[in-house]
A and B are shown apart, each in its own frame.
Chain A
Amino acid sequence: DTGVSQDPRHKITKRGQNVTFRCDPISEHNRLYWYRQTLGQGPEFLTYFQNEAQLEKSRLLSDRFSAERPKGSFSTLEIQRTEQGDSAMYLCASSFPDRFYGYTFGSGTRLTVV
C-alpha cells in the first residue's frame, strides 16, 4: 500500500476562484478525515467520513467548504470563492474506526490564495 495520497501538492489560485483537492486513502481504512493547518498551528479538524457517509460536517469553516466521498473510496474537498484567509495546508488522513488506531496522513495540499 502506498499510503494516503493527496493531489495536488501545491495550488496557487486567485481570490474568488473555486478549488478542489483530492485524497486517496489507504484502501482498507473506512474512515477519512480532512484537516486544515495554518502556520504555527496544529491541524484543525474539518470533517470526516465513514465509508461514503459524511458523519460530521459542522466543523467545516463556512458554507464555501464542502466535501464528498461518493463511493466510499477517494474524497474531494472543494472551496468555493476562495479568500486569502483560506491559504493553508489541507491534510487528509485515513484510519480504522477504532481508538486504538492512529491516523495515516497524506503529505497535504498547500493552498495559496493571491
Chain B
Amino acid sequence: TQLLEQSPQFLSIQEGENLTVYCNSSSVFSSLQWYRQEPGEGPVLLVTVVTGGEVKKLKRLTFQFGDARKDSSLHITAAQPGDTGLYLCAGAFSGGGADGLTFGKGTHLIIQP
C-alpha cells in the first residue's frame, strides 16, 4: 500500500504570514493533486501537477512537484482568514487510475485575523 504523508498536521498562524505545507511519499506519483476541504463539504480541486520539477501558481498559492515526483509542497504567501481549511494532497500511483487517488491525512490550517 502506498502511503502519503503530509506535514504539518495542524498549523495556526496570523494573517499576513507565509506558510508551507509538505506532501511526501516513498513511491513515485504519476500525478499529484492538491485539494481544499471545508467542514461538511467535499474536497475542491486546487491544482494538478504531472511533470517532475513543475511549479504552478494560483494567486497567492504556489505548488511545486519534486524532481523525482515523490514529493510536493504548497506555499501560501500573505495568508488570509479565507485560506482557513483542510488542505489535502492526493497522489495517483498509476496512470490508469486503477488505484484511485491516495490521500494524505491533510493539514488543518487556521489563519487568525
Binding site for B on A (CB under 8 A): 4, 31, 33, 35, 40-45, 48, 55-56, 59, 91, 93, 95, 97, 99-108, 110
Contacts and interface: CB of A to CB of B under 8 A. Distances in A.
Contacts, number: 71
Contacts of A44: 103
A33 B35 CA distance: 16
Interface of B: 30-31, 33, 35, 40-45, 47-48, 50, 88, 90, 92, 95-106
A42 B105 contact: yes
A102 B100 contact: no
Contact of B100 (A33, A40, A41, A97): A33
Q: Which of B48, B90, B100, B102 has the most CB of A within 10 A?
A: B100
Contact of B105 (A40, A56, A91): A40
A106 B42 contact: yes
B43 A99 contact: no
Given A41-B105, A105-B42, A105-B43, A100 B97 contact: no
Contact of B33 (A40, A56, A103, A110): A103
A40 B105 CA distance: 7
